[in-house]
Amino acid sequence: MDTTAVLDLMKDVAAEVITPRFRSLADGEVMEKNPGDLVTVADRESEAILTREIGAAYPDAFVLGEELTASDHSAIDRYLAAEHAFTVDPVDGTKNFVHGSPDHAVMVSEVRAGETVRAWIWQPEHQVGWVAERGAGVYRNGERVTRRPVPDGAEPRGATSMWPLRGHSFGHMPPLVGSWVCCGVDYPRLMEGQIDYLLYGRNSPWDHAPGALMVHEAGGWVGHPDGQTYAPQSLVPGIVVASDRATYAAVRRQAGQALARR
């Protein structure tokens, strides 16, 4: 499937099984995988269709879905061993979706030989599609996006989904604000300039592989508190997403220790 065809598939799936349920989920259509960890019928149906269609187009690739991983813990091992794989987040920001927030997304990435080579984010309620190919840039609804570095002398603005760190200040940086609690919205907001860095504790491939490629293609940097560059098959916890490499280095110096403890 070419890059446009994958985005079209994601749009079709959202129109078929996600958007019709937005703000109209019926009783019994929202469940808990673990206490506080929600899943809906839209998540499961979206993942089933995306996995089927991508698997049919690439029969030798392993498709790692978030919901598959919740029910089959060996899926991560098969993903890590795969030479060619896809990640699927069928409804990123499920809590937002359940609570009627438009800040949710569908995300897919393609990984070859341990590198993310293509990535897609579709925000159905915002009608915004993000697409990236390694070495070819990142595009928002067909227009190329680049992220300017934080100006010299300015303090970077940060956001996080981790409640204990919200309101924290690191050095002279402004206090951390809450993120959009959806990687499929957080990463795009950084590329659009609404924030300069993001801090995450958890590292799930379906959450970070798509946005990490896009941020790199826009001129930013994604790595871990220890200085290791992000890779889609590394499960090292703690992620710093930054508008540029200098901002990543500054945030890592100031916030890395606190993030490493999470």
Is 152 a member of any domain? no
How far, in whole angstroms, is CA 162 from its chain's centroid? 15
Is 251 a member of any domain? yes
Q: Are 189 and 241 in contact (CB under 8 A)?
A: no
Is 107 a member of any domain? yes
Q: Are 210 and 230 in contact (CB under 8 A)?
A: no
Last residue of a domain, one of 111, 145, 179: 145
Q: The domain spanning residue 111 has which CATH number?
A: 3.30.540.10
Nearest to 43 by CA among 89, 10, 96: 89
Q: Are 215 and 191 in contact (CB under 8 A)?
A: yes
Give the residue numbers spanning the domain of 172: 158-260
The verdict on 134 and 223 lying in the same domain is no
Query: What's the confidence (pLDDT) of residue 261?
Result: 63
The verdict on 83 and 203 lying in the same domain is no
Is 63 a member of any domain? yes
The verdict on 95 and 198 lying in the same domain is no
Give the number of C-alpha atoms closer than 13 A to the C-alpha of residue 195, restricted to the C-beta side.
23
The verdict on 130 and 176 lying in the same domain is no
* Structure confidence by residue, pLDDT tens digits, 212-234: 999 999 999 999 999 999 999 99
The verdict on 12 and 133 lying in the same domain is yes
Nearest to 239 by CA among 166, 152, 160, 167: 160
Is residue 64 packed enough to be buried (19+ CB in 10 Å), middle (13-18) or exposed (0-12)?
A: buried
Which residue has tokens 């950084």?
190
The verdict on 7 and 72 lying in the same domain is yes
Nearest to 101 by CA among 15, 180, 187, 11: 180
**Of all helices (H) and strands (E), which one includes residue 239?**
strand 239-242
Is 150 a member of any domain? no
Q: At what angle do helices 205-218 and 183-191 cross, to 10 degrees?
A: 10
The verdict on 37 and 120 lying in the same domain is yes
Q: At what angle do helices 3-13 and 41-57 cross, to 10 degrees?
A: 150
Query: What's the confidence (pLDDT) of residue 148?
Result: 95
Could you read off the pLDDT tens digit of each residue along the chain, which spans 262 residues?
Answer: 999 999 999 999 999 999 999 999 998 999 988 787 899 999 999 999 999 999 999 999 999 999 999 999 899 999 999 999 999 999 999 999 999 999 999 999 999 999 999 999 999 999 999 999 999 999 999 999 999 999 998 999 999 999 889 998 888 899 999 999 999 999 999 999 999 999 999 999 999 999 999 999 999 999 999 999 999 999 999 999 999 999 999 999 887 667 666 5
Residue 77 structure tokens: 């091992």
Number of folded domains that form the chain: 2
Last residue of a domain, one of 145, 174, 204: 145
Query: What's the confidence (pLDDT) of residue 260?
Result: 64
The verdict on 134 and 162 lying in the same domain is no
CA distances 131 to 50, 54, 143, 176, Å, are 17, 16, 10, 28
* Structure confidence by residue, pLDDT tens digits, 45-74: 999 999 999 999 999 999 999 999 999 989
**Of all helices (H) and strands (E), which one includes residue 71?**
helix 66-71
Is 186 a member of any domain? yes
The verdict on 171 and 230 lying in the same domain is yes
